[in-house]
Structure 1
């Protein structure tokens, strides 16, 4: 019996016939027999290669990595623990023990592999490295957590915790969305160092740095609306107020310096300033509501925990071992009879026959 019988490895794939078989075999050699490959409609033989290597292969119903991950976990995986990785052989399978340890020990609900801890030469271009750093810094600024590498595709999580996340991203924004949702749902997250290698020759990446980077930034900012409304509305308000201030300064300068009035620009400046101030106020109010919501949720969770504890205490008190041993029916009858005789109750008067 394997130590990882409760673990399923999830590999989203799209035209990765060059590497998928070796990744599947490596995970199976590591002691994880359940490997699920969910494929996005590859035309290069990826599905056949994965199936021959011992994986269970499912073709996703939609498109994109995010949709594949959601569909796989919700519809095709029953194991309580899931390891998510890429099928491009850039992750070291021997790191799976470190990824699973916090989950199996009950110390975390979600584990992120930090690629920057041991990134091999050529594993990431300079542009991608800078983009990753900027996105991680933005995440830390917006959401107040330092997960070090929120774009890492090497994850491990409990299936129950995954089902608590509200995920909608279809593409490569799924990793960012998972990180944001972990913060929003107050899940316990562990970050472990992993090795990140260069893609083997012959395999091509499906990631487009500019396009997918823009999608990730938009996803990160969009999620701030519900997780950090002060930043979301405050930043928009600051931009609008700044624009109004610049236009106001321009109108005043032209008026005093040259006596030229710009009525249209002046109206725009007033509108932008008012809108900006309103957005700032709305951000403050939304942040207050957000804080109160978290306090209420925490209060309900404490009450639920207290009730669960009281219920468990009551059940222990009702156990037969906690009660005095019950008397047998004969013993109760004898005691009742003795009590009645002693008190003079329960005895019939003597019979008087007719004389």
Structure 2
């Protein structure tokens, strides 16, 4: 490979001095001369090390990985294809061509690297493995599409398809949001096998499993409002209905066995049941409207072909 002028390798960084120089050199040795590092305010010399290794470095104007990716693609990338990777040396630069092939062949507009296909020992803790599996299954259930590894940070996409996505996540939720938006906007996605390596000695992760996992779950649920309204409103409606029913059962039990009335609890249970039923009905109606809207768009697209 003699060069890839149509590709920009994008590396968001935050205190990655232990690995950034090696990562930049790996991609340049694989023929990717356009390596862009967008730095979120590192204090360990990451920007200088990246520049010395041959990368183009820009300072992020905001905070968080999500904001960094949006700013970089919007303001600093001119290439047709973007190869997004982490700067912690966990991804293999030699997998880059595998990531880019679906884009160049026209098979897909967005590519996700599946870390579980070749995960090296020690690359992910048991807790993170379990969390990733749960999140991926939840995504497949909510959005009806299985991307196998929606939290993967190794992505390749066309700049045009990225601009069609409505992205607002600031931090690590950007990967989840991109997956959801690809489903929502009918962006064709390919999933390819990649190698996932442990972080080198002396390299600390910026990921906080519990905090960031919670953010990702909230992002999944929030996005279900427009992609799967029956699940979004139905789950809340079902919870409210069941809660009301449990309170009603308690009130009835107390009245039958002890002749004790709980008027306030009775009102609360009735309100919970009514609210739950209304939310379930709203979810069904919203789902019907969404289905009709999608069918109308598909019919319009067929007529225009």
Give me the TM-score of the superposition, normalised by structure 1: 0.85
* Matched-pair contact (CA < 8 Å) for 2:84–2:156: yes
- Aligned with 2:153: secondary structure? coil
1:94-173 matched pairs, under 5 angstroms: 94-173=94-173
* 1:86 is the counterpart of 2:89: no
C-alpha displacement of 1:2? 3.6
Residues in 1 aligned to 2:287 and 2:20: alpha-carbon distance in whole angstroms: 46
* 1:264 is the counterpart of 2:264: yes
Report the counterpart of residue 200 of structure 2 in structure 1. 200
1:197-253 alpha-carbon deviations (Å, 9 max, x no partner): 110001100000000000000000000000000000000000000001101100000
Report the counterpart of residue 246 of structure 1 in structure 2. 246
Report the counterpart of residue 353 of structure 1 in structure 2. none
C-alpha displacement of 1:4? 1.6
C-alpha displacement of 1:52? 0.5
Note the residue ranges of structure 1 that are not aligned, 5 or more in a row: 306-355
Report the counterpart of residue 324 of structure 1 in structure 2. none
1:25-44 matched pairs, under 5 angstroms: 25-44=25-44
Report the counterpart of residue 9 of structure 1 in structure 2. 9
Note the residue ranges of structure 2 that are not aligned, 5 or more in a row: none
Report the counterpart of residue 51 of structure 1 in structure 2. 51
Residues in 2 aligned to 1:68 and 1:164: alpha-carbon distance in whole angstroms: 17
Matched pairs, number: 305
C-alpha displacement of 1:3? 4.8
- Aligned with 1:234: secondary structure? helix
Report the counterpart of residue 343 of structure 1 in structure 2. none
Give me the TM-score of the superposition, normalised by structure 2: 0.99
Residues in 2 aligned to 1:234 and 1:186: alpha-carbon distance in whole angstroms: 24
1:119-142 alpha-carbon deviations (Å, 9 max, x no partner): 111111111111001000100110
Report the counterpart of residue 329 of structure 1 in structure 2. none
- Aligned with 1:187: secondary structure? coil
| Aligned-pair Cα RMSD in Å | 0.9
Residues in 2 aligned to 1:149 and 1:119: alpha-carbon distance in whole angstroms: 12
Residues in 2 aligned to 1:228 and 1:61: alpha-carbon distance in whole angstroms: 34
Report the counterpart of residue 293 of structure 2 in structure 1. 293
Larger of the two Rg values belongs to structure: 1
